[in-house]
Structure 1
Amino acid sequence: MSLKARLKEEQILAMRAKNKVRLGTVRMLLAAIKQIEIDNKVELNNDEVTAVIIKSVKQRKDSITQFEKANRLDLVEVEKTELAILQEFLPQALTTDEVKALVEQAVASSDANGMQDMGKVMAVLKKDIQGRADMGEVSALVRASLA
């Protein structure tokens, strides 16, 4: 089952269960996907849908940080709930050790010699890690490995 089909199925299940938060989150995600499809006149594949979910997860994390700074704990809880729902649709997260192993493998396979080759290493890693690890943390590991 494609990721988009799974989201539509989850939307129906949330409607039947009268789970308003889950329904709203899934609808928001489907709307974002549909908007991109209309704008670009293409049908998104699973990788592109995953990228939309990652973007939404990042937005939620940023919102949580901002709401905590503003002492809006009521909104923090809403964002955390939505974040948990969105993360259900992402692939299984990699452990730190798995990420480190992939970074070492990517550095070796791309013949990286220093920081100037970071882009090559990140390009190799992106297809394997996208949605399964925080790219900021991956970037820090690559920097440490290349330094």
Structure 2
Amino acid sequence: MAVPVTLLERLTQDMKTAMKEKDKTKLSVVRMLRSSIKNKEIELGRSLDEDEALQVVSKELKQQKDSLSEFERAGRDDLAEKARGEIAVLEQYLPEQLSEEEIRAIVQETIQETGASSKKDMGKVMGAIMPKVKGRADGKVINRLVQEFLQ
């Protein structure tokens, strides 16, 4: 049975591979991720566990998606294309994303569990959902679906 590889070990291996293959996009994204993880470790004064490392990847992915929408709005196709490439690399390090139907089912189940009935309960529902979908769903999608159900 294979021993699971930690995210940091996988990043190190992928960095070496990207150097050999001269894949500049992947190399820069992997370096940026490793740097972000190291900075978080320094901030906390300890090594990150796998979930915390995935949170760093999720945060970087969200920043790239935000940048992409800004570049598209500004008509900067060159920068938008670069951001798309970086997003594709970042997504490789996250667990498989849930489909909208799966998220919808989790949202419905959580609303029933929490007894939420109106938009006032939005925070309670979001707080209960996020640990269930950690790293496997976009917060914007979850937010939109929760709002749909809490009319």
Please report the TM-score for the alignment, with normalisation by the length of structure 2.
0.90
Aligned to 1:110: 114
Aligned to 1:142: 146
Q: Secondary structure at the match of 2:98?
A: coil
Aligned to 1:15: 19
Q: Give 1:85 shift.
A: 0.3
Q: Secondary structure at the match of 2:96?
A: coil
> Matched residues in 1 for 2:79 and 2:7: separation?
28
Q: Give 1:122 shift.
A: 1.1
Q: Secondary structure at the match of 2:115?
A: coil
State yes or no: 1:55 paired with 2:55. no
> Matched residues in 2 for 1:65 and 1:116: separation?
29
> Matched residues in 2 for 1:55 and 1:91: separation?
14
Please report the TM-score for the alignment, with normalisation by the length of structure 1.
0.92
> Matched residues in 2 for 1:117 and 1:70: separation?
36
Question: C-alpha deviations, 1:102-137, integer Å up to 9, x for none?
Answer: 001111112223222222211221112122121111
Unaligned runs of 5+ in 1: none
Aligned to 1:32: 36
**Structure 2 residue identity aligned to 1:6:** R
Deviates more, 1:89-98 or 1:112-121: 112-121
Question: C-alpha deviations, 1:6-55, integer Å up to 9, x for none?
Answer: 11221122122221211111000100110111122121112111111111
Q: Matched residues, percent identical? A: 38
Q: Which runs of 4+ in 1 moved over 3 A?
A: none
Paired residues in the alignment total 147
> Matched residues in 1 for 2:115 and 2:74: separation?
46
CA-based RMSD? 1.4
Question: C-alpha deviations, 1:56-113, integer Å up to 9, x for none?
Answer: 1111112112222222211111111011000111111111110110001111112223
State yes or no: 1:73 paired with 2:77. yes
Which one of the candidate residues 111, 128, 139 is aligned to 2:132? 128
State yes or no: 1:45 paired with 2:49. yes
